[in-house]
Amino acid sequence: MNRLLKGPARAIGALIAGFLIFAGLLTASPASAADADPSTFAYTIAGTLQQDDTPITGVTIIASKDAEKFETKSDEFGEWTIMVPTDGIWKVELDTTTIPKEFNLANKDGAVNEADLSQTDFAAVLFKFGTDVVVKQSFTDQLLVRVFAGFNFGLMLAIAAIGITLIYGTTGLNNFAHGEMVTLGAMMMWLFYSFFQWNILVAGLVAVAAVTAFGWAQDAGIWKPLRKRRLGLNQMMIVSIGFGIVARYLILLFFAGDTKDISGAATVIQLGPIFTSDVTLVSMVISVLALLGVAYFLTRTRIGKATRAVSDNSSLAASTGIDVERIIRIVWVVAAALTGLAGVLYGLQFQGNWSMGYDILLLLFAAVTLGGLGAPLGAAVGALIIGMVVEVSTLFMPSELKYVSALLILIVILVVRPQGVLGKKQRIG
């Protein structure tokens, strides 16, 4: 056996040969799912059917995936549960012929839904009955509401986007693992604030500190050694994709896949047509202060000026005596702190889950691209625009497509003005 372990290729060869021998000995027939006892299944889909608080009884609900199908009926409380054997996305639908006449679905496509069991073992599925309550608002009011929401969202994107752009500016890395710092910020906030019930300020500070430490460790443990090895930038980008996946799924393993309620008690505040909360208003103020702080840091402090010099031309900066590696380390720490803060604020307002940061990663890239990669204050402006576009676009198109508009902007910008927006065109010759 020792002999086999000499080279990886041999080991793999041996492994494959091993399969062939073992597998040749049998004809496996995995137990068909339909024969098994559903109550032993590991995954659960459940929900309650009701219209205006009246339970709907006796409706057939069918969960299906691939060739497998399981069904149940809603009970006297309108509740139903289906156990299924495997993970993945299950299609859940109501047999509309079994819905009693006095009840009606809120919209005609509403009988089909899906349960995402790819990351968890339980999924709740909601079917809407009755008339959809649409509060009629005047267009200007709606616009005001959206602009406010866009501004708020844009501010949060801005502090995370500045992190991306600082790192890109000083190291040339398109960091695809940036979203995970947002997620980590929110998850830490959940841990300290919602779970340990610490004071909100203390929890927030500790959460940001944790992400900051993560950023520092990331640079020291991965990026600095890779820079030392002179790994190409495209290669580094792929490494960051891999690292992002690892970080994302580690977060999932530790924090599970459910949505974390981080908000705590927020007081609703009405500003004209806009309903908002004290948490939102305070977080907007914090975002603005953070942005002003960054602007001050970059333009007024010695280290900030050195950072800009490194972004401009790192070899020139090095030759004027700037310690480029030190600047990069500081940039990672600052970027991680800002991004962690974005995660904390995002989580406080919109809850959080394991993939929240990844979900907005491309929006961050869009913001950074719009403002000019490597130009921190441009990124902030870009983020505000992207946030606004995402929110305001919902007035004109289905809200499920709101990220699509931002992605299209990203594509158009890159196509139309890649070097103009992103910096200098490369030299030829």
Q: Which residue of 62, 143, 209, 414 would you call a contact of another protein, by CB under 8 A?
A: 414
Per CB under 8 A, 245 contacts another protein: yes
Q: Which residue of 17, 42, 124, 292 would you call a contact of another protein, by CB under 8 A?
A: 42
Least distance from another protein to the Cβ atom of residue 283, Å: 27
What distance in Å separates the CA atoms of residue 375 and residue 395, rounded to the nearest whole number? 31
Residue with Cβ nearer another protein (7 or 272): 7
Per CB under 8 A, 285 contacts another protein: no
Q: Are 317 and 305 in contact (CB under 8 A)?
A: no
Q: Which residue of 226, 262, 309, 310 would you call a contact of another protein, by CB under 8 A?
A: 226
DSSP codes of every residue in 408-425: HHHHHHHHHSHHHHHSPP
Per CB under 8 A, 44 contacts another protein: no
3-state secondary structure of 374: coil
Residue type at 204?
Answer: G
3-state secondary structure of 324: helix
**CA neighbor of 369 nearest in space, from 141, 165, 215, 216:** 165
Query: Where do the H-state alpha helices sit in 172-256?
Result: 179-189, 200-218, 224-228, 233-255
Q: Which stretch binds another protein (CB under 8 A): 33-41, 69-77, 107-115, 344-352?
A: 107-115
Per CB under 8 A, 241 contacts another protein: yes
Q: Which residue of 143, 205, 237, 303 would you call a contact of another protein, by CB under 8 A?
A: 237
Q: Which helix (H) or strand (E) holds 376?
A: helix 376-392
Interaction residues for another protein, span 319-378 (CB under 8 A): 362, 365-366, 369
Least distance from another protein to the Cβ atom of residue 405, Å: 9
Q: Are strands 54-55 and 79-84 parallel, antiparallel or unpaired?
A: unpaired
Least distance from another protein to the Cβ atom of residue 264, Å: 28
Q: Are 214 and 183 in contact (CB under 8 A)?
A: no
**CA neighbor of 339 nearest in space, from 155, 152, 163:** 163
Per CB under 8 A, 178 contacts another protein: no
Q: Which two tokens stand for residue 404?
A: 């699509």
Residue with Cβ nearer another protein (198 or 249): 249
Q: Which residue of 29, 32, 39, 140 would you call a contact of another protein, by CB under 8 A?
A: 29
Residue with Cβ nearer another protein (65 or 193): 65
Q: Which residue of 146, 178, 248, 308 would you call a contact of another protein, by CB under 8 A?
A: 248
